[in-house]
Amino acid sequence: MSKNPRIDEVVTQTLQSYFKDLGGASASGIYDMVLHEVEKPMLEVVMREAYGNQLRASEMLGINRNTLRKKLLQHGLLRKG
């Protein structure tokens, strides 16, 4: 049975592929791009593990509940209302 790669290994491999695919073209906004791409699946998984409980999810993430709500809204994971 193969061991699953660590998150940092996956990010490293993905970024190396990203730069290779650019073929020498300039890149910009990588920091925001990576954070955005990683944040949404992280929020989805944590919310699932917390059974939709935002307080529990915010504790798991180590962030304020209001910050969590803002991020859920930004990623379309929570309806305004």
* CA-based end-to-end distance of the chain: 46
- Residue 54: the pLDDT is 97
Task: Classify residue 50: in a domain, yes or no.
Answer: yes
- Residue 52: the pLDDT is 97
> Which CATH number is 50's domain given?
1.10.10.60
Q: In sequence order, which residues have a C-beta less than 8 Å from that of residue 64 and are 6 or more positions away?
A: 58
pLDDT, tens digit (0-9, with 9 covering 90-100), for 7-44:
999 999 999 999 999 998 999 999 999 999 999 999 99
Report if pTM > 0.75.
yes
Range of the domain at 34: 27-81
The full DSSP string for the chain is: -PPPPPHHHHHHHHHHHHHHHHTT-----HHHHHHHHHHHHHHHHHHHHTTT-HHHHHHHHTS-HHHHHHHHHHTT-S---
